[in-house]
Structure 1
């Protein structure tokens, strides 16, 4: 099923000199940037009567823009009564504290039972927003804060803010190996050349920047606080493995148990039994997409990471470090 959409308008002074895709996003906020860009590249947008299929084409105030687009009905996902830990909600956005084990979006091998299905149940009108308002993701076994848009204008602004690095995301993690100081990893990330489900540091990947600082040191592990400048798939996990400090529990990227010498049974059991990457999205800060107000939220460290840190502290107490 498809629906024809006819839109028209005059480029306002506020969009003078901007790219076509930026101008139409401002003029027609009820449609997502990706949909508008597709209409442009498909030749369904005219400027002063002439078809323009280049999103980067500059426009001037006073130009007339017409869109004769086709709105293709997307696959409808089922609403499911899955419990959500909602940290904040208003008419435009929701902030969710995602638990470990919850997949964000349906895909191969996970057709339902996801955060998207839960969002559709909690707020049915969100099915009118592309991807049910999801603007960024967390891995299945990563816990913590995510922002979700409840309207298309809110989603448009949040996606732009994410692309412009205007949303601050801070994480807690426990990695293998003792670290003495923080730093920055600035290495491009792309699909692994042979393991197609893995990401890797590759020369032709997308730019990726991760900042980290030491919170607490243990005999053979380090508690970190990290901040993302970019949002590549598996970014923290890949960057920490690249500098030879993979996250505890991250068996995909080399985080197998690495106990210190003479480790007691409690620590050995904890490391063997920690079956997810020790990674938690602890703080999320952003300008509200509609009001512009600066907002910030914190999610407490999840119980399994609290227990992991407690066992590591007990080991350090028994075997003090310098």
Structure 2
């Protein structure tokens, strides 16, 4: 299915979809949005309040139903967008990106490998970047090694945004967090003085909301070090809720309160700008 409308007056995306596809059930329209079927000027958009301006082209592109025998993704994983070059996945907390040395735990990599091989046993996926087991949200995989290399070589140029619920009330409205990390220890990364074995980590933060005992923080990565957000907030004296290894004393959601909420990158094949946004999961939103 492919259908297009042109915006004639400023509007938000979801109300525009409701108005211009009145014959479609609203739950179906929300599914289009959630799973990357809505394109604004050929860019996949998932945010319901995305601002539209006159002249914007809104296209609905719904992929054909999967072939017989293709199993749905396991609970906790959902495909936001897929084409011949990439897969953008919504990874739930509790899923590893790829197997650890111990070999224990469910992995998004294995689930996606099963998904692509359902149509051709020769297919496979390549890991572009990783999310911690207990971090939820957007993650990208490539379908060929050349596309993986293109994405990884340019990854530092792309915009990656996270949302975190931190313990306590952060008084600063915004700022930049810098430190040097020692990643030698597998379970806990440490901030240390700069040296030959350290790597600089830079995170830009902005407070979005303060509650009585927690703070919702938006974090944009300038570097992509392991656990850098967790270390930076811990060093501030405001560890992420549920992050016991980095000093958290509360865990009301029974998970790490960290979510990969936005990815903006250039498609490795078409060179189009790809924009993906996932709101904070309800279980974390309730904390603020």
> Given the two structures, how large is their TM-score scaled by the length of structure 1?
0.61
Q: Is 1:290 the equivalent of 2:280?
A: no
- Which has the larger Rg? 1
Tell which deviates more after alignment, 234-243 or 103-112: 103-112
Distance in structure 1 (CA, Å) of the matches to 2:158 and 2:187: 27
- Among 181, 191, 197, the alignment partner of 2:183 is 191
Which shifted more, 244-253 or 103-112? Answer: 103-112
Q: Which 5+ residue runs of structure 2 have no aligned equivalent?
A: 1-70
Higher relative contact order (CA 8 A, sep 6+): 2
Out of 70, 74, 78, the position equivalent to 1:82 is 74
* Contact persistence 2:95–2:105 (CA under 8 A): no
In structure 1, what is the Cα distance between the partners aligned to 2:143 and 2:243? Answer: 33
CA offset digits 1:84-112 (Å, max 9, x no partner): 31111110001001001001111233346
Quote the Cα distance in structure 2 between the aligned partners of 1:94 and 1:293: 15
Question: Relative to structure 1, is the Cα distance of residues 176 and 273 closer, same or farther in structure 2, using a 3 angstrom cutoff?
Answer: closer
CA contact (8 A) 1:80 1:118 kept: no
State the Cα distance separating 1:306 from its structure 2 match: 2.0
Aligned residues: 211
For 2:116 and 2:89, the matched residues in 1 are separated by 13
1:240 to 233, 237, 245: 233
Distance 2:83 2:183 in 1: 37
Kindly provide the CA deviation profile for residues 160-207 of structure 1, in whole angstroms up to 9, marking residues without a partner as x.
011xx1121101111112122211111121226xx5421011223112
**Structure 1 residues 94 and 242, CA, compared in 2 at 3 Å: closer, same or farther?**
same
Pairing partner for 1:96 from 82, 89, 92: 89
C-alpha separation in 2, matches of 1:225 and 1:126: 41
Which position in structure 2 is the counterpart of 1:304?
283
> Distance between the aligned counterparts of 1:137 and 1:126, measured in 2?
25
Partners of 2:72 and 2:144 in 1: CA distance: 20
Give the TM-score, by structure 2 length: 0.68
Q: How does 1:44-123 map onto structure 2 within 5 Å?
A: 82-83=74-75, 84-111=77-104, 113-123=106-116
Q: Deviations over 1:216-258 (max 9, x none)?
A: 112232111110011111110011111211111100100112x
Q: Tell me the C-alpha RMSD between the 2 structures.
A: 2.2
SS at match of 2:147: helix
Distance 2:271 2:201 in 1: 27
Tell me the residue number matched to 1:254: 247
SS at match of 1:107: coil
**Secondary structure at the residue paired with 1:86?**
strand
Q: Which one of the candidate residues 123, 148, 166 is aligned to 1:175?
A: 166
Structure with greater strand percent: 2
Distance 2:73 2:166 in 1: 35
> Which one has a larger percent helix, Structure 1 or Structure 2?
1
